[in-house]
Amino acid sequence: MKSVKDIGKLKNKSVLLRADLDVPLKKIGRQFKVDDDARLKDLLPTLTYLLAKQAKVILIGHLDRPQGKEVKSKSLKPVCYHLEKILNQTYAFKSKKHIQFIPIERYIGSAALKAVENLPAGGVVMLENLRFSDREEKNCKRFAKKLSSLGDIYVNNSFSTLHRKHASLSAIQSYLPVYYGLDVIQEIAHLQAIKQKPAKPLVLILGGAKVNTKLPVIKSFLNKADCVLVGGALANTFLKSLNFEIGRSLFDESRIQHARKIFNVNKIILPVDVVTQKDIKKVDQINKNDKIFDIGPTTVKMFTDKLKSAKTIIWNGPMGKFEEKKYAHGTYALARAISKSQAKNITIGGGDTHEAIKNESYKKNVFISSGGGAMLEYLAGNPLPGLKIKS
Ligand code: ADP
Ligand code: MG
């Protein structure tokens, strides 16, 4: 993997910088504002490095899932304003940096090319949400080629999307020299150590709602992990696949067969009791109208016991609908158990999982990854479409 610091001369070079711009927005009056800018702050070291070296930077990225259509509420414009603000607050440049925003009708058209041509050394522009075009998620080669025409060099600083086979992450690699941002380099360096030689026992904790990204990695982990503790809608999907009644709980219909196939009684540990909209129930007592929203107290005890002897802990996905206080106990109890754990290495990833643990204080042995799905895929040993390793 080549780092942004391995690029030779940068002065006047156009750098297409794939960033993680997917931050939560909040509507205030008629305007959207950035609600949490942690990901943008992570971008600053790489961005300022490039600007200090007098490169011309073209920021590209996505926001949320507009499904290939132009959706006003998912525009990157407020992100552009916010990034400009924190860039100027944090770093002292000779003059204030302005980040020019290139709206959808212009991007990758001749006007976008012109905007880039007119950029001075050390200047920066941001393109509108790439997912406004359906060609981004289709990994369209022509789209990638057009994007690449804006730059001389491609730098990827978006660790959290490395598992996505999209045009600005994967197809683009065929058209420009590929380098990685400081964040990606740092995350990979950390995760590589755990991937190669994890201290045992290794306990994997999986939960949350995105069954799609989490279930497939379990199989790759089955030979590495000593046990896999499962909560959230992922657990519901397993329970359903084993013919348990789960009532009206959230689960992923399309993954039932898959869940049944990989279920391994020795390693995959499912909840034995759960919290429903009404009360705490054993998993074999759920009726048609119940909704499972959290793991129950016996399960919490069972899971935290497993964590006591763990030497490596990897966690992605909350145990329940933790945004509602009455369903947060399972997730918070695990967060606390992990903060007290004697494990040598603890790695926690995923946007919602971050949100759930943010009030917990963690020691040095805890690594918070900026990615959920990407972290799991990498640790499982699966290839990441966004990662080009020197051949
Ligand atoms: P992460 O962002 O950490 O990877 P996900 O995005 O997969 O996690 O899932 C987080 C979401 O899952 C949260 O919004 C949470 O409310 C929801 N969730 C977890 N368990 C349940 C459940 N049993 N029923 C409904 N929603 C759930
Ligand atoms: Mg999430």
86-95 average pLDDT score: 89
Query: Of all helices (H) and strands (E), which one includes residue 144?
Result: helix 141-148
Considering only 84-98, 279-293, 304-318, which range has the smallest mean pLDDT?
A: 84-98
pLDDT of the residue at 377: 93
pLDDT of the residue at 372: 93
pLDDT of the residue at 275: 98
**Distance (Å, whole) CA 50 – CA 144:** 22
Task: Write out residues with Cβ below 6 Å of ligand 1.
Answer: 207-210, 232-233, 250, 292-293, 316-318, 320-323, 350-353, 372
123-132 average pLDDT score: 96
pLDDT of the residue at 29: 94
Q: Tokens 């084993």, residue? A: 242
Who has greater pLDDT, 391 or 262? Answer: 262
336-349 average pLDDT score: 92
Within 240-321, strands assigned E span: 268-269, 273-276, 280-282, 292-295, 312-316
**Distance (Å, whole) CA 137 – CA 165:** 7
Which residue puts its alpha carbon closest to atom 18 of ligand 1? 321
Ligand 1, residues 212, 250, 277: which to mutate, most atoms within 8 A of Cβ?
Answer: 250
Q: Which residues of 330-354 are buried (b: 16+ CB within 10 A; e: fewer)?
A: bbbbbbebbeebebebbbbbbbbbb
259-302 pLDDT, tens per residue?
999 997 789 999 999 999 999 999 999 999 999 999 999 999 99
Considering only 20-24, 111-115, 145-149, 237-241, which range has the smallest mean pLDDT?
A: 111-115
DSSP reduced 3-state for 25 = strand
Bridge partners for 15 per DSSP: 57, 153
Residue 109 pLDDT greater than 80, yes or no: no
Q: Are 183 and 46 in contact (CB under 8 A)?
A: yes
Pairing of strands 280-282, 273-276: antiparallel
Report the mean per-residue pLDDT for the chain. 94
Q: Which of 159, 224, 227, 214 is nearest to 22 (CA)?
A: 159
pLDDT of the residue at 271: 98
Residue 106 pLDDT greater than 80, yes or no: no
Residue 331 pLDDT greater than 60, yes or no: yes
Q: pTM score, two decimals?
A: 0.89
Kindly indicate the confidence band of residue 355, based on its pLDDT and cuts at 50, 70 and 90.
Answer: confident
Which residue puts its alpha carbon closest to atom 5 of ligand 1? 208
173-185 pLDDT, tens per residue?
999 999 999 999 9
Which residue puts its alpha carbon closest to atom 24 of ligand 1? 293
Q: Are 80 and 21 in contact (CB under 8 A)?
A: no
Go through the chain and tell me how many residues it has. Answer: 391
Greatest alpha-carbon span in the chain:
67
Q: How far is the CA of 350 from the centre of ligand 2 (A)?
A: 6
Tokens of 137: 């998620």
Q: How far is the CA of 336 from the centre of ligand 2 (A)?
A: 20
**Distance (Å, whole) CA 317 – CA 325:** 17
DSSP state of 255: G
Kindly indicate the confidence band of residue 391, based on its pLDDT and cuts at 50, 70 and 90.
Answer: very low
Q: State the CB neighbour count (10 A cutoff) for residue 319.
A: 36
**Distance (Å, whole) CA 303 – CA 233:** 17
Tokens of 296: 């129950």
Pairing of strands 227-230, 202-206: parallel
Who has greater pLDDT, 103 or 17? Answer: 17
Q: Tokens 């949400």, residue? A: 129
**Distance (Å, whole) CA 236 – CA 252:** 8
Query: Omega into 198 within 30° of 0, i.e. cis?
Result: no
